[in-house]
Amino acid sequence: MNNSEPAKPRFTLSFGRVALLLAALIAVVAVGITQYRKYKSANPEPTADSSAPAGPVADVASMIASLEKRLQSNPDDAEGWNMLGWSYYSTGRYADAATAYGRAIKIDPRNATYWSALGEVEVLAGPGGITPKAVEAFGKALAIDPKDFRARYFMGVKKDQDGKHQEAIDDWIALVKEAPAGAPWEDAVRDLIAKASKEHNIDVAGRVPPKRIAPMADVGGGMGGMPVTGSGAQVATDGIPGPSAGDMQAAAGMTTGQQNEMIAGMVGKLEARLASNPRDSKGWIFLMRARMVLNEPDKARKALADGKAAFAGDKAEQARIDEAAKALGVQ
């Protein structure tokens, strides 16, 4: 890091982190829970486990407890350690996440996703900036999979941190060009390009392609790239309408608690919009997902009921909302 200009790298990194987390948080959590369900289905407990949560897993704390217990008896399960790393990451336990991802890598060192996940938590656990350990992890990921989104994104942040702003923006534009339609992180990267180009007076006119809209029949997923089929489940794991560039700039200097309050405020705006325009099934699905992320299952169930009531007599839209609720673990 250039010690003569500490503010610029720190601000840009903070902005990028907030942009990515705010725009992708809800999708990442929804996909992570679905991944856990699939993992658990493929790796059933040998005996009944009274401590495991009943029904769909909508509580990350329960997920952590279940994974920790499972890994005690099966410590060579790389995907189990990966899921535990994600669970720690989602609750802000970045050092623990790094340890878990490290265990997964020891078992499966040729998995690019594990390496890039390790790099990300090394960044978030560090004092600020892209640390040498993070650079090493991202480099390993890219050596295995040159297309790894997360590694490419953060290596762009590293270039920006080192004053190579043009190269960083070039990298992020390349990501946007290659983004699958409906990628939940795309809006965050687009806003970051706009902010960085304005900050450093770099002309990007005509270089950023228009956003593509994913048809409902397509499959989609979060940052992990896990496909989710079906129209309701598709919306459940697509990107939520993200914060504005102004919102993210304000959030860059906030504490984690303040950022959470900001997310709650965004959800409140969505709820108010649905009150005035209730015939919006996608909006109700976003609201259910948001409530589950904020650990408000009762409010998620209310959103499910209200959404279905808004489409009384429309079995297709009700089925779509029900499908999304099932994908999110709303009971």
CATH number for the domain that contains residue 274: 1.25.40
Q: What is the mean pLDDT of residues 39-66?
A: 54
67-126: pLDDT as tens digits: 899 899 999 999 899 989 988 887 778 899 999 999 999 999 999 999 999 998 898 887
Per-residue model confidence as pLDDT tens digits over 271-284: 888 888 898 888 89
Asked if 266 and 164 sit in the same domain, the reply is no
Spatial neighbors of 47 by CB under 8 A, at least 6 apart, are: none
Token pair in block for residue 276: 């005035």
Range of the domain at 205: 7-221
pTM strictly above 0.75: no
Q: Which stretches of the chain are DSSP H helices?
A: 7-42, 60-73, 78-90, 94-107, 112-125, 132-144, 149-161, 165-178, 186-199, 231-237, 245-251, 256-276, 281-293, 297-310, 315-328
Q: Are residues 190 and 275 in the same domain?
A: no
The answer as to whether 234 is a domain residue is no
Q: Is residue 159 part of a domain?
A: yes
Residue 244 lies in a domain: no
Q: Which of 169, 204, 221 is the last residue of a domain?
A: 221
Instruction: Encode pLDDT of 22-33 as tens digits.
Output: 444 444 444 454
User: Count of domains in the chain?
Assistant: 2
Is residue 225 over pLDDT 80? no
State the pLDDT at residue 49: 42
Q: What's the confidence (pLDDT) of residue 46?
A: 46
pLDDT for residue 21: 46
295 SS3 class: coil
- 181 and 54 housed in the same domain: yes
d(CA 37, CA 221): 15
**Nearest Cα to Cα of residue 68 among 108, 114, 99:** 99
How sure is the predictor about 311, in pLDDT bands with cuts at 50, 70 and 90?
very high
Domain assignment present for 243: no
207 lies in the same domain as 284? no
Same-domain check for residues 53 and 198: yes
Torsion 135-132-17-171 (CA) sign: negative
Q: Is there a domain that residue 197 lies in?
A: yes
Tell whether 161 and 47 lie within a shared domain.
yes
Amino acid at residue number 278: P
Residue 178 lies in a domain: yes
Q: Assess whether 96 and 211 both reside in one domain.
A: yes
CATH number of the domain to which 153 belongs: 1.25.40.10
147 lies in the same domain as 273: no
Beta bridge mates, 228:
220
Same domain for 94 and 182, yes or no, is: yes
Domain membership flag for residue 102: yes
**Residue 52 sits in the same domain as residue 201:** yes
- Regarding whether 327 and 262 lie in a shared domain, the answer is yes
Closest C-alpha to 6, from 155, 153, 14, 254: 14
Residues 72 and 80: beta-carbon distance below 8 Å: no
Residue 268 counted as domain residue: yes
